[in-house]
Amino acid sequence: MDRSRRNFCLGAGAATIGAATVGAMPAAAAPSGASLRREGDPAHRWAMVVDARKCVGCQACTVACIMENDVPENSFRTIVSTYEVTEQGKAGSYMLPRLCNHCEDPPCIPVCPTGATFQRRDGIVVVDNTVCVGCAYCVQACPYDARFINHETQTADKCTFCVHRVEAGLLPACVETCVGGARIFGDLNDPDSAVATLVREENPKVLKPEQGTQPRVFYLGLDPRFQGKVDGTPTLWRPSSKTHARKEHA
């Protein structure tokens, strides 16, 4: 059992096994720009460390996320953006895994007019699509280009850290399938977890620190040239109709 899985399983024992979907909140009860945390266990603060040095750009994480969360065609909740770079006259590539940063101070929440986007007490930022009206304010507010309007549901969509798996004591699908062990998930509130140890000892970086959002996705080995490059990133691979055809026949 790898370190991420071992530490997560130890830390998730107190997590409550829950449903795969976020419980609905009546629209009438959702104040404009609601920021009050609800749901989730406040004893935990879930986070992810991405080791960019280990990412090989295989996109297993992207495909696993599509399969697990029924992500519609031409959209993604997580992806590895691949950059073409040239160093000392030699061409190469740089891999930047991307997903919702589940910020401590998420800018997507105060702009939501219905309270559909909210932060759980365990820090996971989610969307209640029974309340979302698809206005896309949150999509525009996210500095990490990590949200989209689901063209099938016409509501905002994004990474949830696979909250339904986390509540069942499992790792997010992208972590479970990462062949290089580049994604490590766990509880920041557990000082002995792999995530807490790496954040404490390895001085990881975050994307766009100047935004002041306090992301809870941290990066090891992040090239400073790419620390702020998440808008309109060029990729050599994107989800295709073939990917979704495999999902439908799985």
CATH number for 178: 3.30.70.20
Strands annotated E in the chain = 46-51, 78-87, 90-99, 117-119, 125-127, 147-150, 155-158, 183-187, 217-220
Quick check: 231 pLDDT over 70? no
Helix, strand or coil for residue 12?
helix
Domain range spanning residue 63? 3-249
Average pLDDT over residues 178-188: 97
Quick check: 222 pLDDT over 50? yes
Quick check: 234 pLDDT over 60? no
Count of CB atoms within 10 A of residue 239's CB?
20
Output the CA torsion sign for 16, 186, 183, 157: positive
Quick check: 21 pLDDT over 60? no
pLDDT tens string 30-83: 444 445 678 999 999 999 999 999 999 999 999 999 999 999 988 999 999 888
CA distance linking residue 25 with residue 34, whole number of Å: 12
Q: What are phi and psi of 46, to 5 degrees?
A: -75, 145
Average pLDDT over residues 185-211: 97
Reported as half-sphere exposure (CB side, CA atoms, 13 A), residue 170 has a value of 14
pLDDT given at position 227: 87
Confidence tier at 106 by pLDDT (50, 70, 90):
very high
Number of structural domains in the chain? 1
pLDDT given at position 22: 40
Confidence tier at 166 by pLDDT (50, 70, 90):
very high
Quick check: 217 pLDDT over 50? yes
Output the CA torsion sign for 185, 190, 193, 194: positive
Helix, strand or coil for residue 139?
helix
Helix, strand or coil for residue 93?
strand
Question: CB neighbours of 42 closer than 8 A, spacing ≥ 6?
Answer: 121, 122
Q: Return the percentage of the chain with pLDDT > 70, whole number.
A: 77
Average pLDDT over residues 76-103: 88
Averaged confidence pLDDT in the chain? 84
